[in-house]
Structure 1
């Protein structure tokens, strides 16, 4: 009985560590993405390059729902828009029914 309790305790402790580590990774990615949005607003090309390289999510949005690409294109920062526009980024926000 004691051994099974010890194994269960170790399992729960390990699970808790993994959960907390995952939360830390998510928080770091959120911080990177927030910094990316701020760098785009400031037209800070080197910071945008660094943040995207570090894993900032170009699809993340600000409090108004605009992505880094949206902001860059709106402001005319096309060099930044290209960096923030990886192949996985969707250009269509609200797809409509295609013609058939």
Structure 2
């Protein structure tokens, strides 16, 4: 299932990760692990935020996906199912 992860990072923890050099490694490891079809980074509500769109085949994948953001960046993490236009058309075609 295609999902989007939104991680809104704590400013102080993200600043620490940047100054210590850990931020690039965390992002690199996350990208290698998830291999997202899309990844976006920018500010939201004055905080560093990332949006990653990737395939999650089993809910047991959630802890290893979210924990680095929780533990290293004190981030607020949200994960929710999403569709692209083709998925939406397929779903709509199944309605009566």
TM-score by length of 2: 0.30
Instruction: Name whichever structure is richer in helix by fraction.
Output: 1
TM-score by length of 1: 0.29
Larger radius of gyration: 1
